[in-house]
């Protein structure tokens, strides 16, 4: 399958937000018919199906929907969704960056259902389903009304949702196969978290990992769909967003903490990566 010819769907398809979206499942496919055709998501998707029939395809797996269940799809998997018109439930879409802004990097990988290759389905009891429906109703209200600090509240709700899913999830596979490439990339990500303020080039990390910069870039692109350099940039932006959201540090202080020689360099970098100035981003998080 030539994935590069498939349409790529980001959260901007649904609303003006670029990192989080939630809605009731009713009428979603009518509003967004593109979801019924094969496409690639750039975000995590959680479907909480209270009442539905149809089928969901992710990569080469086809899942028939005929009961209450929760579907989890990972970023970069090819999927298409077909549900009956009177389906009931909720849909949540979010990026890794949205969650990691408040919690530690790679913490999503600690949830076992996100370690499945493409996506999974979790059967739920009526009592469990009722709890999840109540939770997403609160999330939907928070998302719709847009009160002060709504994103922070939504992150907390999302964390609760993932913990509750973790409590009921039973892995289908009990054997973990060693993947040296995955291990190498995860070690690279860990090194970035620990050293990004002083080590800004992939070559710095390639030397520590005892591999070439070209090979490091290749395995990052193959496994994550991102260059080695973009992972460093993402970490810098993530930390900048954390400091802008959760501290009162000045822009100059943040630039210094992140290892920028001049504040203007930091402002230019931040604007290039986010299409906002640091001041604009900080203000948006306070709304």
DSSP string of 227-255? -HHHHHHHHHHHHHHHHHHH----HHHHH
pLDDT digits 0-9 by tens, 7-52: 888 888 787 778 899 998 887 777 887 788 888 888 999 999 988 8
* pLDDT of amino acid 178: 55
Which of 168, 188, 210 is the last residue before a domain boundary?
Answer: 168
- In-domain check, residue 175: no
Residue pair 117/39 in contact by the 8 Å Cβ criterion: no
* Shared-domain flag, residues 218 and 156: no
Euclidean distance between CA atoms 138 and 117, whole angstroms: 30
* pLDDT of amino acid 287: 62
For residue 254, what pLDDT band results from cuts at 50, 70 and 90?
very high
* pLDDT of amino acid 86: 81
> pTM score, two decimals?
0.66
The CA-based angle 27-6-88, given to 5 degrees, is 20
* Shared-domain flag, residues 214 and 282: yes
Which of 168, 200, 218 is the last residue before a domain boundary?
Answer: 168
CATH number at residue 199: 1.10.10.60
Number of domains in the chain: 2
pLDDT digits 0-9 by tens, 259-280: 999 999 999 999 999 999 999 9
- Closest C-alpha among 9, 17, 14 to residue 78: 9
Which of 123, 145, 168 is the last residue before a domain boundary?
Answer: 168
Mean pLDDT for 238-252 is 89
* Shared-domain flag, residues 15 and 69: yes
pLDDT at 2 over 60: no
Return the structure tokens found at 183: 């291990």
- Closest C-alpha among 93, 85, 88, 87 to residue 39: 93
Mean pLDDT of the chain: 85
* Shared-domain flag, residues 237 and 281: yes
For residue 1, what pLDDT band results from cuts at 50, 70 and 90?
very low
* Shared-domain flag, residues 156 and 36: yes
Percent share of the chain, pLDDT over 70: 92
* Shared-domain flag, residues 21 and 133: yes
* Shared-domain flag, residues 159 and 238: no
Range of the domain at 187: 180-286
* Shared-domain flag, residues 35 and 111: yes
* pLDDT of amino acid 6: 67
- In-domain check, residue 106: yes
- In-domain check, residue 163: yes
Residue pair 122/155 in contact by the 8 Å Cβ criterion: no
pLDDT at 92 over 90: yes
- In-domain check, residue 184: yes
For residue 173, what pLDDT band results from cuts at 50, 70 and 90?
very low
* Shared-domain flag, residues 38 and 134: yes
- Of the listed ranges 86-100, 164-178, 266-280, the least confidently predicted one is 164-178
- In-domain check, residue 218: yes
The CA-based angle 171-94-191, given to 5 degrees, is 75
pLDDT digits 0-9 by tens, 188-213: 988 998 899 999 999 999 999 999 99
Distances (CA, A) of 88 to 59, 62, 286: 24, 20, 33
* Shared-domain flag, residues 9 and 150: yes
Beta strands 44-51 and 88-94 are: antiparallel
- In-domain check, residue 193: yes
Q: Which residues on neighbouring strands pair with residue 71, listed in sequence order?
A: 47, 121
Distances (CA, A) of 130 to 133, 169, 222, 263: 5, 16, 40, 50
* DSSP-based three-state secondary structure for 90: strand
DSSP string of 27-49? THHHH-GGGGS-EEESSEEEEEE
* Shared-domain flag, residues 198 and 277: yes
- In-domain check, residue 138: yes
CATH number at residue 147: 2.60.120.280
* pLDDT of amino acid 117: 62
* Shared-domain flag, residues 209 and 263: yes
**First CA to last CA across the chain, in angstroms?**
43
- In-domain check, residue 174: no
């Amino acid at each position: 399958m030539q994935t590069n010819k498939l349409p790529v769907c980001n959260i901007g398809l649904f609303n003006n937000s670029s990192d989080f979206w939630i809605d009731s499942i009713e009428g979603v496919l009518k509003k967004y018919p593109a979801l019924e055709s094969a496409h690639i998501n750039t975000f995590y998707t959680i479907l909480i199906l209270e009442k539905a029939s149809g089928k969901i395809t992710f990569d080469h797996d086809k899942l028939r929907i005929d009961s209450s269940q929760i579907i989890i799809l990972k970023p970069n998997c090819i999927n298409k969704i077909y549900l009956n018109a009177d389906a009931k439930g909720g849909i949540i879409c979010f990026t890794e960056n949205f969650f990691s802004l408040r919690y530690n990097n790679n913490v999503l990988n600690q949830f076992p259902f996100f370690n499945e290759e493409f996506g999974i389905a979790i059967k739920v009891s009526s009592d469990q389903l009722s709890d999840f429906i109540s939770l997403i109703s609160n999330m939907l209200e928070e998302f719709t009304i847009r009160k002060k600090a709504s994103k922070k509240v939504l992150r907390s709700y999302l964390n609760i949702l993932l913990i509750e899913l973790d409590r009921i999830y039973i892995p289908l596979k009990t054997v973990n196969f060693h993947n040296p490439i995955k291990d190498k990339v995860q070690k690279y990500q860990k090194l970035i978290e620990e050293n990004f303020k002083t080590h800004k080039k992939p070559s710095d990390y390639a030397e520590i990992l005892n591999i070439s910069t070209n090979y490091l870039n290749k395995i990052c692109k193959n496994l994550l769909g991102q260059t080695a350099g973009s992972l460093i940039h993402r970490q810098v932006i993530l930390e900048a967003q954390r400091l802008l959201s959760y501290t009162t540090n000045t822009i100059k202080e943040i630039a210094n903490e992140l290892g920028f020689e001049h504040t203007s360099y930091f402002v230019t970098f931040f604007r290039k990566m986010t299409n906002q100035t640091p001041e604009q981003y900080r203000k948006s998080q306070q709304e």
